[in-house]
Structure 1
Amino acid sequence: MSNYIFIVEDDPNIRDIVSAYLKKDGYHVSMVDNAEKAWELTRGKQPDMWILDIMLPGMDGYELCKKIRQESNVPIIIISAKDEEVDKILGLELGSDDYLTKPFSPRELVARVKRLFKRTTIHYEQKPHESGQQLQMGALIVRHNDRRVFWADHEIEVTAKEYELLSNLIQNQNRAFSREELLTLIWGDDYFGSDRAVDDLVKRLRKKMDGVPIETVWGYGYRLSHEEEANT
């Protein structure tokens, strides 16, 4: 079964071009021109990925992104004519997984869609010491076989990017990663956005898991520390 992508874009030319390229690659596509209609139509069937424009009539793409994140961790790509760093950061803070600035190549969008689907479905290779593809450090458990996260005996809903950050950190406990390393590991080596995206991921995880030992290495990056109390 092909992946189902929902496009919310008020420019009919962009909608048609993006849809044509995605369908050519085998994706099932639905598209509407406003966020309210999109939200109503997806109450019955959630898509496997959202592609959202920011400047929409009525509810904007940021608000729709926020509403989606309150209910689902489905991948979200934001597309926008805005190219300011603050707009990209806001989109990432609200839970989007990628941000593409107009004008863009439809082939580039398709490539990002493929990469994001791959990142959300790939299973990490099991290491000899990883019984059942599960790693644990104190109250934190990351299960690689079904991409689930548990903290203090409670399952935590995480986005694809949040999962990848935790997975990389828990597989390299006590190792300090620079922000640039984490950007490459999580977003890919062709990502040119601000390293604030990493800070935003950590901020969201700390909010979801009070006391999670993600330690700030000041002026450098982050590590998952064995210490009971991590510096925050």
Structure 2
Amino acid sequence: MPRTILVADDDPHIRQLLVFALAKAGLDTIEAGDGEATLAAAASAPDLIILDINMPRMDGIAVCRRLRATSDVPILFLSSRDDELDRVLGIELGADDYVTKPFSPREVVARVMAILRRVAGRPPLVAEAATGPLRCGRLSLDTEGWQAHWAGQPVALTVTEFGILRTLATMPAKVFSRDAIIDRLHGPGFAITDRTIDSHVRNLRAKFARLGAADVIETRAGIGYRLGACGAT
């Protein structure tokens, strides 16, 4: 069945541009022109939301906060503000990716398709992709159902957070550079910053820390990340 994308932007021209590009990729769309309309449209359970930050009647940051309180729907932020702090804030709120304006519709569609592949459990790099459950001590990952548990307790993760954790869990002893993690999630050559990966890792640590697993991911200075000792024992 076609996937449905909610396109939320107060500029009708941008919505029209994205709707046309997404339709060419075989995706259905619904539209919203402000924050309150976006929340109302999100009740129809779209497969992904393209969310502009600068919108009237509740901006995209506030909308993302509201959505993340009850939903793990993938979110791709759009913004005219090419500021690293904005990017990091968006990721820390639980967005899966971030595109700045002006943008190429083809790039937006490519990023949407990459996120949908991850949701469907079909990462672009299949040579080392894990299938079936992964268990490392108290950590367990259902790679087909995209669900994470710590000591039997469910942990609500975004698509990108789950992808990072799965990458580390496939080879618990290996230290992955940030570039290697990006390649596993998106494929080679995908434009995303190291700070974005750091923000996702920070989110992961915070979620597991609430369950008593503060060291689920270990940092190797100057190299990257690996699964922490508590998860690998």
TM-score normalized by structure 2?
0.88
1:26-175 matched pairs, under 5 angstroms:
26-43=26-43, 45-123=44-122, 133-175=132-174
Contact 1:123 1:144 in 2 (8 A): no
Overall identity of the aligned pairs, in %: 36
Letter matched to residue 104 of structure 1: F
Shift of 1:220: 2.1
Q: How far apart, in 2, do the equivalents of 1:34 and 1:25 lie? A: 25
Q: How far apart, in 2, do the equivalents of 1:54 and 1:28 lie? A: 22
Unaligned runs of 5+ in 1: none
User: Is 1:224–2:227 an aligned residue pair?
Assistant: yes
In our comparison, the structure showing a higher alpha carbon Rg is: 1
Q: Deviations over 1:11-38 (max 9, x none)?
A: 1111111111212322111111101112
Aligned to 1:206: 205
> What secondary structure is seen at the aligned counterpart in 1 of 2:94?
coil
Shift of 1:229: 8.7
Shift of 1:126: 10
User: Is 1:14–2:14 an aligned residue pair?
Assistant: yes
Aligned to 2:24: 24
Shift of 1:99: 1.0
Contact 1:85 1:194 in 2 (8 A): no
Q: How far apart, in 1, do the equivalents of 2:118 and 2:132 lie? A: 17
Q: How far apart, in 2, do the equivalents of 1:168 and 1:112 lie? A: 19
Indicate how the Cα distance of structure 1 residues 193 and 107 shifts in structure 2: closer, same or farther if over 3 A, else same: closer
Contact 1:7 1:52 in 2 (8 A): yes
Shift of 1:94: 1.0
Q: How far apart, in 2, do the equivalents of 1:194 and 1:23 lie? A: 28
Q: How far apart, in 2, do the equivalents of 1:147 and 1:126 lie? A: 19
Unaligned runs of 5+ in 2: none
Contact 2:217 2:226 in 1 (8 A): yes
Q: How far apart, in 1, do the equivalents of 2:72 and 2:83 lie? A: 25
Letter matched to residue 184 of structure 1: D
Indicate how the Cα distance of structure 1 residues 126 and 22 shifts in structure 2: closer, same or farther if over 3 A, else same: closer
Indicate how the Cα distance of structure 1 residues 89 and 206 shifts in structure 2: closer, same or farther if over 3 A, else same: same
Moved more, 179-188 or 55-64: 179-188
TM-score normalized by structure 1?
0.89
Moved more, 214-223 or 167-176: 214-223
> What secondary structure is seen at the aligned counterpart in 1 of 2:77?
strand
Indicate how the Cα distance of structure 1 residues 229 and 53 shifts in structure 2: closer, same or farther if over 3 A, else same: closer
Superposition RMSD in Å? 2.2
Letter matched to residue 96 of structure 1: A
Aligned residues: 225
Q: How far apart, in 1, do the equivalents of 2:216 and 2:21 lie? A: 43
Q: How far apart, in 1, do the equivalents of 2:144 and 2:30 lie? A: 30
Shift of 1:42: 2.8
Contact 1:123 1:145 in 2 (8 A): no
Q: Deviations over 1:134-156 (max 9, x none)?
A: 11111100111212111111111
